[in-house]
Amino acid sequence: MMNQDNRPDLVIHGSVHASGGVYREVNVQGFGKVKGDVECIDLHCAGHVSIDGDVQATNVKVEGNATVSGAFHAENMEIYGQVDVNGDVEFTQLRVDGSAKVHGSMSGEEIKLRGYLKSTGDCEAELFKAKGAFSIGGLLNAGRIEIHLHGGCEAREIGGEHIEVRKAGNSTLNKIIKHIFNNTLSVDTVEGDEIYLEYTRAKVVRGNNVEIGPGCEIDLVEYTGEFRKDSSSQVKEHKQH
């Protein structure tokens, strides 16, 4: 790897075509197209950038629009604008206040979502905190999952030790979003140790202690410890093992 002190900066103002490479900072204020893989310490995009290759960075902040044709590896990612990645995404910490679309799988330590997240594959983390909307094509797996439903959320499967799904408070934004999205979580299977669900549609919920709060439609609950259900929810069948 190149010595950090000797790395050049790539600064894009206006409309620029550049080559990939090893940089200290990549700063996009205009419209940039980068051909090849990019490795850098800091990537800041306040304009539009299209990278035809993989990206490896320490710190990433996207306030504009970034498209990556390959994989994306970063330690700290903050997305306030839009990101579209055609490969897998690996991170330590990911914050999405804008929109992130990943045509692959995602893995890291911590995800904080206040915008929109779409992943066609699996999504794995130690902590998953969502106050936005998401669509995960595979398994959402995290040690601790906290979801506040601010829009339509869906995953094929959800797995974790502690899983909590609650309807968001009645903020003005929530009332507006409610007209556009259906504020529910749709999932085939939920499997965990401690599970609390509100406004969730699932085929199977499997856990130790399971509490079904208001607004749920569940086909089957399997539990080993305790089971509680709100009277407004529908559970077709529940079994203790």
pLDDT score of 170 more than 80? no
Q: Angle CA(25)–CA(26)–CA(31) in degrees, nearest 5?
A: 160
Sign of CA pseudo-dihedral 91, 96, 98, 102: positive
pTM of the full structure: 0.92
Per-residue pLDDT tens over the stretch 12-55: 888 989 999 999 999 999 999 999 999 999 999 999 999 999 99
CB environment 34-65: b (16+ within 10 A), e (fewer):
beebbbbbbbbbbbbbbbbbbbbbeebbbbbb
Q: Under 8 Å CB-to-CB from 142, ≥6 apart: which residues?
A: 111, 124, 125, 126, 127, 128, 160
Cα separation values, 25 from 44, 100, 160, 212, 236, Å: 8, 22, 37, 49, 56
Per-residue pLDDT tens over the stretch 189-224: 999 999 999 999 999 999 999 999 999 999 999 999
pLDDT score of 182 more than 80? no
